[in-house]
Amino acid sequence: MPLTLKLTYNKDRVKKSGEARVYLRITIDRQTKPMKLDFYWPADKINEERAILLQRYSDDPDVQRRNLQIKNRINDITDIETQYSLRRRILTIELLFRDIGFYKRRITLVKWMEYKIMDRFNDGEIEEGTKKNGFSTIDSIKSFRKNAFIDDVNKTWLSKYSAFLRKKGSAPGTIWGRIKDIKAYLAYAEREVMLVVDTDYRNFQNSPPETDTVFLNQRELNILFDMVDSIELTQLQRRVLMAFLFQCTTSLRISDVYRANSEWNLDPKSLQFIPKKGSKRRSKKLVVPIMPGAKTFISNLDGMFFNLPTEQEYNRSLKEIAAKSQIHKNLSSHVGRHTYGYLFMKYIGNMKALQMIMGHQSPNTTQRYAHLEDEDLFNAVMKMQREINISTLKKA
C-alpha cells in the first residue's frame, strides 16, 4: 500500500488561544502515526484539504516560512519512500520515522553504533555481555575521534585507530575485537537505505592474533579425576569440578553447560541441542556423541544437569582447584572445551569428526586443537619406528 500523508492537528488539544500543534498524519500499510512539526498555528487557519496554512492576519510574515517548512518535510518523506522503492526495500512506518533522523544528515559512528547495539539488544539478538563489549568499543572510539562520521571510516581511518589503541597499550586481542566490532556495524550501516558508507573500510585486514590455547594433558586430567572425591574441596568447588570435567569429556561450551538439562534427549550415545552460541543462525540441533564416563559427572539427570554459581565464581573456583591440584595453568571455563579438542586430536586424530562434534562452521577453527606436546612428538616417532620395523642401526 502506498504512503499517504495529511496536514492536520489534534482537535481535542486546541489551546484557549485557539492554536494547535501542527502534524503530518502518515499512513503506510494501514498503520498511521502523527509526525509532529515544531510549531503551533490557529486551528481555524489550518487548511487540511489543501495541506497549507492560511494567514493569521494580513501580511502575515510567518505563513510562507511555515508552509515552506511543511513542503520540505513532505518532500523529505516522499524522497525516502522513493529511495526504498528504488532499492526494492519495504518501507514501514517505524523505518520512516527512524530514517527521517538520518535524512540529509551525516551520522557519527558513535551515534550509529549506540543505536544499533541497543536495537539488537532489545530484539534479543545479542546478550548483555555482547552489548557491554560493544559499548566498550564505543568508549574507545570516543577517546580516538568522537565526532567521526560513518562515511569518514575507511582503511586509513582504521589503521590510525589501530595505531592509537596500540600506543595506549591495548592487547592485540582487544584491538582485533574493537576493529571487528566497528567493521560489523559498518556492514549493518551498508544495508541501510539512508546511510552512506565508504566501503574502503573492508580493505583493512583484521586477522585475529595468534594466541596460545590452554588445555590439560592426560596427566593433568587424571589429577582432576582423582580430585573429585577429595575432602580438600568445598561443595561449591566439587560442583564446579564436576561440570568442568563434563566439559573436558563432551566438548560443550560453558554457556551450554549452564543450560544442559534432561530435555536434551540424553540417550546412551548422544546429547542433542541447539548451542547457545549462534542460536539465531541455527535451526538444526547439534548431536554430540557422549562417552558413558562423561555421564558420571552429571549432578542431576531429572532437570538441570548442574547447579552452578555465576561464571565469575565458576572461574575463580577453577583457579582454586588448580592451586590445590598443583596444576600450573590458568584454568578457566574455556579450558574444558580446549582439553576435549586436544585429547581428541591426540588419540583419534580425525579433524573432520572433531569439527562436526564441536559444531564449527570452518575447519580453520578446529585446527587450533591440533596441538602436540614434546611427549606426543616422541611417541609419534616411536610409533613410526615400530611401523617400519627398525631393529638395529648399521654402523658406517
Measured distance CA(381)–CA(391) in Å, rounded: 14
Structure-block grid coordinates of residue 61: 510574515
Measured distance CA(263)–CA(277) in Å, rounded: 19
Q: Which residues of the chain form beta strands (DSSP E)?
A: 4-9, 19-28, 31-42, 46-47, 52-53, 270-273, 286-289
Its pTM stands at 0.57
222-249: per-residue pLDDT in tens? 999 999 988 899 999 999 999 999 999 9
pLDDT at position 396:
43
Domains in the chain, start-ordered, CATH in brackets? 4-94 (no CATH), 109-203 (1.10.150), 218-380 (1.10.443.10)
Q: How confident is the model at residue 172 (pLDDT cuts 50, 70, 90)?
A: confident
pLDDT beyond 60 at 391: no
Structure-block grid coordinates of residue 232: 580438600
Measured distance CA(266)–CA(326) in Å, rounded: 34
| Helix, strand and coil percent figures for the chain, each rounded to 5 | 50, 10, 35
355-379: per-residue pLDDT in tens? 888 777 777 777 766 655 555 555 6
CA dihedral sign, ordered 122, 128, 134, 136? positive
Q: What is the length of the chain?
A: 396
Measured distance CA(260)–CA(266) in Å, rounded: 10
Summary mean pLDDT of the chain: 86
